[in-house]
Structure 1
Amino acid sequence: MRRALVALLLAVSLLPRGAAPQALTSLSSLRVRYNTQKATVRPEGALREEIDQLDREIADATRLGHTGDVRRLLAKGPVLLAGRPWTDSLEYSTSLVVRSDRVVVDPARPWLVRLEQIYRPAVSLDGPLSAHVEIRRPPAPRGNGASAPAAVTIKDLGSFEGVGRDLRESPHPMDLDLTGVPDGTYQLAVVVQQAGHSVGAAALTIAVRSGLDALVARLEHGAASAPESVRADILYPVDRMRQVNRGRLELRTFDPARDFAAAEEILAASASGHDPFDGRTGDFKRHYLLESAGEIMPYRMYVPTEYDPSRPIALIVALHGLGGTEDSFFTGYDGLVPLLAEERGYLVAAPLGYRVDGSYGWGLANLPADPTTRQVQARSEEDVMQVLERVREQYNVDPRRIYLMGHSMGAIGTWRIAPKYPDLWAALGAFAGAGQPATLERIAGVPQFVVHGDADPTVNVAGSRGMVARMRELGVTFEYIEVPGGGHSDVVAPNLAGMFDFFDAHRK
């Protein structure tokens, strides 16, 4: 482990200088959004025919591996379902992406970005094109019924002439000067113009951080001599920045201000001979090196204030839904999970699952055919099990009271992981999920708490109904709550206390 972390530290300082694509929203997330909208709108007549044709085109593009075209079609579908026309401007804008070698940027350093295209749009553009570039503060979310607030321009970076019509063949480079831009998270907005009129636009979310090189050097130097138990916690923001810059993770999975500050606090504490996690309670993050991936992974912990290391304590492993992170069960669902954990005396450990769309493995099903998908899913499951192992090493976890739960993809993951490790779990909690009823025989002795809304447009209620029907046949102890009119996410918070009640009542 020590050698692996030292190697990782060295790798961070040897980053490639060529431009790398930043992480676009995963195709899995785009598909779920589109399918959810289809289930909500329920198109009929001519619109249904148009959507059916679109679905055939998506299937063909997927089969051929044309991911750019898949993205175009998954952008077109929601527009049509909303009753709007798919215009040339949308066709062109959706093709545009902004890329760079980094999205966490020191404003004192020159910054090169490129305007590119992920597919060839079916649009004819005659005449010269230019690009106008600004740094904008992202607008605050709109309130109910309110119009979208305007973005605030922080710095006008000027116009760039000679933008090509085919940016796949000839990406357009732009040297940008961020001098004077304060630390923070912004949108780099690029508007493509023809004869003074906008014909398309693209944006890239970036984080500006002054003194970045010095900060990285300080953390690397300190981590080299820090205790191994906290070395990954110190190096995490450096490694996460590297993964984000390489496009392996979205910037939203990384908060430079928060994560660098936390690493500096841990470094300072360890340098003074103090273990910052010794006796720590409440809500905090830990990190470790997932050696199979060569990446430092985060997980979020809740330790109740009355935790006594001499007394065994119950543990809940919480799996987030598609697009979520290790933060989801702490900041979402009305913040009830940590509140209930404190009240009932539970540890909570929430892993990332390697990627926001990792799916937590494939359970007992056939291996995914695509090798990249197979690798991501394998590491997703491994991350969950590594976090469980680490928490059991660090705390006096009661082996009779280890619980697994999740929402959406996390519920699907719960029903994938539990049958692979059937002897671990005291009970399961599955909110708005689906599974393979045939796997339930392996966990017939594990009580299960299941919640689903009968109007869920994202994961059809049939997913839980099928699992519950098989539980009933097998004599599994379960509680099933089907919420009339319930959607995909609104059924979780009102039933979390019930899940804790269920867990309280069941131990191995």
Structure 2
Amino acid sequence: TLVLGQGAPPPQVLPEGIRGGSEVVPEQGVEIRNYVFEPTGERLPYSVYVSSKVRNDQKAPLIIALRGFTGTTLTFVRGTAVDLAETGGYILVGAIGYNNRAGFGVQAPPRSPAGASESGASPAPPPMPRTLPPLVGGTAETDPAKVTAYSEQDVMNVLAIVREEFNVDDRRIYLMGHSQGGGGARHLAEKYPDTWTAVALLAPALFNVQVTAESKITRVPLLLAVGDKDSLITRARDFSAQLDRLQVAHEYVEMPGLDHGTIIMGSMPNVFRFFAEQVKPQRR
């Protein structure tokens, strides 16, 4: 994100073999679609990439992807993620979550201005840039609680739309999210554990999240990935430690050289490998 008055941000350095792509311009094969969100009557966007291997007469795996704060529907539907979706025969979908600042069902604490230090007592979201990118998606509703609920509803609407259009394999429906979207993915895994075959949380924004033996997320295979250059790495470590204490099987990866931004595409080989290993058992 460009912070006015500070010049352009330094270019992101991705690991060898990782393709970044654009979060603004859809690449070949990627469609930005929209549908009418009934509570407000607005048209909300979502992005879709369908592998050339997908056939109407065969069930296909589906990945729903949730952007970070001020991200786009293309945050995941680009670059190496598209390449791996093509190779693996996936349908890859990016949801906006009502708008690009809403929390997918999680109402975050207030953000500090850029440059402010974090409080050790209560984790807060990453600092806001001095000038935010434009609001994308729904704008009719401004009440924070309603926007948060609409953000979750939008994701589940998009999931339903895609399942109706394509021959989706219910045994292979995956969810991944980055930062704010990672926190949202954790929430959606907790609320709808039977929907997801596996969930990947990438540098997730987690606000005082406590996992207990009764937490439904413990039933969902989890991958937790964070770059070792990410200033928010302690949150990922703390969440993994909670799961360890409960003896909840999960995969935790700290990726060398990656930061809060480069973890998105940089983690895709791990994410797609993890998803490919997870398939729900056949129903009897």
TM-score (norm 1): 0.42
Greater percentage in helix: 1
Paired residues, what number?
232
Q: 1:472 to 1:143 in 2, by over 3 A?
A: closer
Match of 1:339 among 75, 83, 93: 83
Q: 1:463 corresponds to which residue?
A: 235
Percent identical pairs in the alignment equals 36
Distance 1:292 1:456 in 2: 37
Residue 286 of structure 1: how far off its partner (Å): 2.1
Mapping 1:232-381, distance limit 5 Å: 282-331=29-78, 335-362=79-106, 372-381=143-152
1:438 paired to 2:182:
no
Instruction: Say whether the 8 Å CA contact 1:444–1:475 is kept in structure 2.
Output: no
Gaps of 5+ in 1: 1-28, 34-74, 83-138, 145-252, 259-280, 366-370
Q: Deviations over 1:186-234 (max 9, x none)?
A: xxxxxxxxxxxxxxxxxxxxxxxxxxxxxxxxxxxxxxxxxxxxxxxxx
1:416 paired to 2:187:
yes
Distance 1:356 1:489 in 2: 16
Q: Deviations over 1:140-162 (max 9, x none)?
A: x6997xxxxxxxxxxxxxxxxxx
Q: 1:395 corresponds to which residue?
A: 166
Distance 1:343 1:314 in 2: 12
SS at match of 2:143: helix
Instruction: Say whether the 8 Å CA contact 1:415–1:434 is kept in structure 2.
Output: no
Q: Deviations over 1:400-421 (max 9, x none)?
A: 1111101111111111111111
Q: 1:131 corresponds to which residue?
A: none
Distance 1:504 1:142 in 2: 35
Q: 1:498 corresponds to which residue?
A: 270
Q: 1:262 corresponds to which residue?
A: none
Structure with the greater relative contact order (CA < 8 A, sep ≥ 6): 1 or 2?
2
Mapping 1:105-184, distance limit 5 Å: none
SS at match of 1:438: coil
Residue 437 of structure 1: how far off its partner (Å): 3.0
Residue 289 of structure 1: how far off its partner (Å): 0.5
Letter in 2 for 1:299: Y
Residue 438 of structure 1: how far off its partner (Å): 2.3
Q: Deviations over 1:119-146 (max 9, x none)?
A: xxxxxxxxxxxxxxxxxxxx9x6997xx
Distance 2:173 2:148 in 1: 23
Q: 1:254 to 1:450 in 2, by over 3 A?
A: closer
CA RMSD of aligned residues (A): 3.0
TM-score (norm 2): 0.73
Residue 323 of structure 1: how far off its partner (Å): 0.7
Distance 1:489 1:143 in 2: 12
Gaps of 5+ in 2: 12-22, 110-141
Distance 2:165 2:10 in 1: 43
SS at match of 2:72: coil
Letter in 2 for 1:487: D
Point out the more displaced range, 440-449 or 353-362.
Answer: 440-449
Q: 1:417 to 1:330 in 2, by over 3 A?
A: same
Residue 431 of structure 1: how far off its partner (Å): 0.8
Letter in 1 for 2:253: I
Distance 1:476 1:310 in 2: 37
Distance 1:407 1:254 in 2: 17
Distance 2:278 2:166 in 1: 21
Residue 492 of structure 1: how far off its partner (Å): 2.7
1:474 paired to 2:221:
no
Residue 439 of structure 1: how far off its partner (Å): 6.4
Instruction: Say whether the 8 Å CA contact 1:437–1:466 is kept in structure 2.
Output: no
Distance 1:437 1:347 in 2: 32
Distance 1:288 1:142 in 2: 34
Distance 1:434 1:143 in 2: 23
SS at match of 2:235: helix
Instruction: Say whether the 8 Å CA contact 1:447–1:476 is kept in structure 2.
Output: no
Q: 1:142 to 1:287 in 2, by over 3 A?
A: closer
